[in-house]
Amino acid sequence: MGTPPEQGVAADAVVAASADVDERASIGAGTRVWHLAQVREDAVVGAGCNVGRGAYVGPGVRIGENCKLQNHALVYEPAVLEDGVFVGPAAVLTNDEYPRAVNPDGSLKDASDWHAVGVTVREGAALGARSVCVAPVTVGRWALVAAGAVVVTDVPDHALVVGVPARRVGWVGRAGRPLTREDDGTWRCPATGEGYVESDGGLRPA
């Protein structure tokens, strides 16, 4: 990821009057935070990002440059999003492996009663609308999680995953388009012409 911005809102960032950005958060140059969005304390949002209406960024979350969080996306701490990540409308990145409101004795849980675990989304990856990433998982570089999918295991670079639980059904290139298999066994992007080679359960540029 790029160099994190200093604490506070960059001079040319745009924050809607109805948004709630904690004074201890960092908002990078050119980033836009739209109506009713909330960015909590110590969160870092890089330059050139778009944080949509009603989106939530938890305390200490780190978001790289040129990311898009669509309306009502929920990114719970301690998630890390690298540069160029897309989080679709109402997508959720969880942080509690064993969720409960109360302890076994019936007392209400507080911050000391559980340990937050995060989701990591690598460079260029995209999470479709209403998808859920159940922490702790990593979504690989340039991968694509389909709308409504529930991710419970790590997603390889360039993988296209769908369903509940999410499973790989293909590969995608950096343009997000499904790759086509060539006669020589390589994979090619129909949009950019880039070639890829499959090996050891993953994909890498040819």
Alpha-carbon separation of residue 16 from 31, 52, 54 (angstroms): 11, 10, 11
What is the mean pLDDT of the segment spanning 174-183? 94
Strand 138-139 and strand 144-145: the pairing is unpaired
pLDDT band at 6; cut points 50, 70, 90: low
Residues 114, 127 within the same domain:
yes
pLDDT band at 71; cut points 50, 70, 90: very high
Residues 65, 115 within the same domain:
yes
Whole-model pTM? Answer: 0.94
Cβ-contact 96, 114 below 8 angstroms: yes
Residues 182, 168 within the same domain:
no
Residues 164, 185 within the same domain:
no
Least Cα distance to 16 among 2, 30, 37 occurs for 37
How far apart are the C-alpha atoms of 122 and 129, rounded to whole Å?
A: 18
Over residues 83-136, the pLDDT tens digits come to: 999 999 999 999 999 999 999 999 999 988 899 999 999 999 999 999 999 999
Q: Provide the domain limits for residue 36.
A: 1-172
- Position 93 scores a pLDDT of 98
